[in-house]
Amino acid sequence: MTIQWFPGHMAKARRQVQEKLKLIDVVIELADARIPHSSRNPMIDEIVTSKPRLMLLNKADLADDKKTREWIQFFQTKGIKTLAIDAQSGKGMKQIVEACQGLVKEKWEKMRAKGVVSPRAIRVLIVGIPNVGKSTLINKLAKRNLAKTGDRPGVTTAQQWIKVGKELELLDTPGILWPKFEDQQVGLRLATTGAIKDTILNLQDVAVFALRFLSTHYPVEFKERYQLDEIPDEIVDLFDEIGKRRGCLMGGGMVDYDKTSELVLREIRGGKVGKLTFEVPSDWENSHT
Ligand SMILES: Nc1nc2c(ncn2[C@@H]2O[C@H](COP(=O)(O)OP(=O)(O)OP(=O)(O)O)[C@@H](O)[C@H]2O)c(=O)[nH]1
Ligand SMILES: [Mg+2]
């Protein structure tokens, strides 16, 4: 299976980001704490040159805490200011306004030197892949539900400015992917965590990837969730065991692999299996980040 999802609205959203850039003081890049590398759009580095950047690893409540700390360290050593947050509860978000103020300090000082008494609100562009929590973050910062959110990718379809007190003006944007995943592991990780529309995916292939990953990297949590004594070597046996235990059956008592795939992906995405991170910095040490 080759995974690809770059519909017309994303190409348009990318153009609109480029058009707005000259208005922007700070770029907040929202990545998914469960896949901090695979959820970074390589196009952002091409489009957003020479703007102060803040990196937020969102959905940290669903990610492996130890690995999140490793990722923060990884980005910080590359000179990218990075915070781990949970935009749904607001955890970790206190530092965001202060971080943005720090990032415009020099620019503001220059403005003051030119005689501007009180500089305007900081204009912040929020970018990231679909479903990563951009609109949720904005609503939390604004303390009002002004941006539409939803548990599927592609909810925001147009840009929207939202004010946060006197300090910030945030630009919400539609989630953007890129035309080609060089590495299909990236596509599978994005599909597993819910950044790609399910209707264009072969969910069984995605579930095979996810189950193999859990078997190798989180065997304790995995066995506990699905009450497995041992993890079978053959993937089909694993599907059969989970499908039977959880009642994902067709007529005649055969296991329904589609239903089983939907169930395990829903549970993995919802954090039911545990706090999971699907990649570590050493997987990507030599890449562009
Ligand atoms: N567990 C958890 N869920 C979150 C977090 N942030 C957002 N969500 C959920 O993730 C889903 C997507 O959130 P949105 O804010 O709509 O995502 P978005 O990035 O604006 O998505 P698009 O507009 O489609 O690009 C929603 O169901 C949110 O409730 C978080 O930190 N933790
Ligand atoms: Mg949105």
Ligand 1 atom closest to residue 60's alpha carbon, by position in its atom list: 31
Judge if the beta carbon of residue 61 lies within 6 A of ligand 1. yes
Judge if the beta carbon of residue 136 lies within 6 A of ligand 1. yes
Tell me the C-alpha distance between 66 and 125, whole Å: 29
Give the residue among 26, 81, 77 at the shortest CA–CA distance from 57: 81
pLDDT for position 116:
87
The count of C-alpha atoms lying within 13 angstroms of the C-alpha of 85, restricted to the half-sphere facing its C-beta, is 27
Tell me the C-alpha distance between 135 and 127, whole Å: 10
Cα 223 to middle of ligand 2, angstroms: 34
Tell me the C-alpha distance between 35 and 191, whole Å: 11
Cα 134 to middle of ligand 2, angstroms: 5
Number of Cβ within 10 Å of residue 218's Cβ equals: 20
Note whether 175 and 153 are within 8 A (CB): yes
| 123-149: average pLDDT | 97
Cα 127 to middle of ligand 2, angstroms: 10
Ligand 1 atom closest to residue 129's alpha carbon, by position in its atom list: 25
Taking the CA of 34 as reference, the closest ligand is 1
Tell me the C-alpha distance between 196 and 279, whole Å: 18
DSSP secondary structure string for all residues of 134-159: HHHHHHHHHTS--S---SSS----S-
The distance of Cα 14 from the centroid of its chain, to the nearest Å, equals 17
Judge if the beta carbon of residue 175 lies within 6 A of ligand 1. yes
Note whether 196 and 153 are within 8 A (CB): yes
Using DSSP's 3-state secondary structure scheme, residue 71 falls into helix
Judge whether residue 6 has pLDDT over 90: yes
Cα 235 to middle of ligand 1, angstroms: 31
pLDDT > 70 in the chain, percent = 98
pLDDT for position 50:
86
Note the pTM of the prediction, 2 decimals.
0.95
pLDDT for position 289:
46
Mutation to probe ligand 1, out of 89, 96, 149 (largest number of atoms < 8 A from CB): 149
User: Cα-atom radius of gyration of the chain, to the nearest Å?
Assistant: 21
Judge whether residue 272 has pLDDT over 90: yes
Taking the CA of 160 as reference, the closest ligand is 2
Judge if the beta carbon of residue 131 lies within 6 A of ligand 1. yes
Q: Which residues pair with 12 in a beta bridge?
A: none
Q: Which residues pair with 28 in a beta bridge?
A: 54, 126
pLDDT for position 284:
74
Judge if the beta carbon of residue 155 lies within 6 A of ligand 1. yes
pLDDT for position 286:
60
Mean pLDDT of the chain: 95
Ligand 1 atom closest to residue 270's alpha carbon, by position in its atom list: 1
Judge whether residue 133 has pLDDT over 90: yes
Judge if the beta carbon of residue 41 lies within 6 A of ligand 1. no
Tell me the C-alpha distance between 262 and 270, whole Å: 12
Note whether 28 and 125 are within 8 A (CB): yes
Note whether 186 and 283 are within 8 A (CB): no
| 140-167: average pLDDT | 96
Judge whether residue 29 has pLDDT over 50: yes
pLDDT for position 287:
59
Number of Cβ within 10 Å of residue 197's Cβ equals: 15
Q: In the chain, which ranges are E strands?
A: 26-32, 53-58, 81-84, 122-128, 160-164, 168-172
| 190-216: average pLDDT | 97
CA quadruple 210, 260, 40, 133: dihedral, nearest 10: -140
Judge if the beta carbon of residue 153 lies within 6 A of ligand 1. yes
Q: Is 205 exposed, middle or buried (0-12, 13-18, 19+ CB in 10 A)?
A: middle
What is the tens place of the pLDDT at every residue in 30-84? Answer: 999 999 999 999 999 899 888 999 999 999 999 999 999 999 999 999 999 999 9
| 241-262: average pLDDT | 96
| Tokens (6 digits) for 13 | 């959203």
